[in-house]
Amino acid sequence: MIAALSFPNISPNLIEYGPFIVKWYGLAYVGGLLFAGWYMKALVANPAMWFGQKLTMTKQQIDDMFIWFFVGVVGGGRLGYVLFYNPLKYFEHPLDIIKVWDGGMSFHGGFLGVVIACYFYGRNIGATLDRMLDLGAASVPVGLGLGRVANFINAELYGRASDMPWAVIFPGETFGRHPSQLYEALLEGVVLFLAVRIATHQFGALAKPGRASGVFALGYGMSRIFVEFFRVPDVQLGYLTGFVTMGMVLSLPLVIVGIWLLWRSRDRA
């Protein structure tokens, strides 16, 4: 068997000063949201990105939407984890639902939370949902990538046993595993960001409402399903049937929605 790599000696806490603790995981969320706000404003401020289409949103509205994004991501992500991954635990201990600092967030729940938040905010300012989601699709992958790197630092959500030369021996174990968190950081973060950026900058996706969202949904869904073949499913769930995991089941609708959005956007302007 090829020797595996030792897990790097990285603390999950960036700063520890008495009761004051700053975790890498929380910093990843903050960094991702701040980047999303900055990048969306940059897109709105660049008329060339819209290829002659009129955008009704302003930089100030992007700042306001950032708050709605935050509520949607955190609220939806937490409730999604509670309902999809560990409902029995939180049914018995409902007060633990608010303990987001203990971990437990679902991308699919956060995605749905953002959609709902954008829908209601869009109604207030007269902006269409697909326009707002296109802006989010262009900027969110960076936060996803940072979150997966934080998962690696926390030594959580790791992969199945592996003898590949890049396998990692996580704390408390003696054999190597797929660093599936880094696979997701690469696919859902770097590759997905570049895919949406190329679609928007080179092929005018923002001029076709829903196209950038379609690229994002299809790309994320396919990436997540692929990585699930290397990732250990949540202990409390295991495999739903055969090799199928909850992550696969929740990602399949995203693939379908992504294909539908791309098909729907082909004649839109």
What domain count does the chain have?
1
Please state, in angstroms and rounded to a whole number, the distance separating the CA atoms of residues 214 and 157: 27
Q: How big is the CA angle at 57 (ends 54 and 62), to the nearest 5 degrees?
A: 145
The per-residue pLDDT for 59 is 82
- Report residue 169: phi and psi, to 5°: -90, 110
Q: Tell me, what's the pLDDT at 188?
A: 96
Residue 126 is given by DSSP the state T
pLDDT in the model for residue 103: 65
For residue 189, give the amino acid letter: G
Q: Which residues of the chain have pLDDT under 50?
A: 1
| Per-residue pLDDT tens over the stretch 127-146 | 888 888 999 999 999 999 99
Q: Which two tokens stand for residue 129?
A: 């949902």
Contacts for 45-51: CB closer than 8 Å, 24+ residues apart: 49/200, 49/201, 49/206, 50/206, 50/207, 51/204, 51/206, 51/207
- The pLDDT of residue 269: 60
For CA atoms 228, 230, 234, 238, the dihedral sign is: positive
Whole-structure pTM value:
0.87
Domain span at 103 = 5-265
Please report how many Cα atoms fall inside a 13 Å half-sphere around the Cα of residue 145, on the Cβ side.
Answer: 15
CA dihedral over 88, 92, 97, 102, signed as positive or negative: negative
CA pair distance 61, 125, nearest whole angstrom:
8
User: Which tokens hold the place of 196?
Assistant: 């949406």
What pLDDT does 179 receive? 97
Query: Quick one: pLDDT at residue 102?
Result: 65
At 51, which amino acid appears? F
Give the pLDDT score at 1: 47
Predicted pLDDT at 2: 56
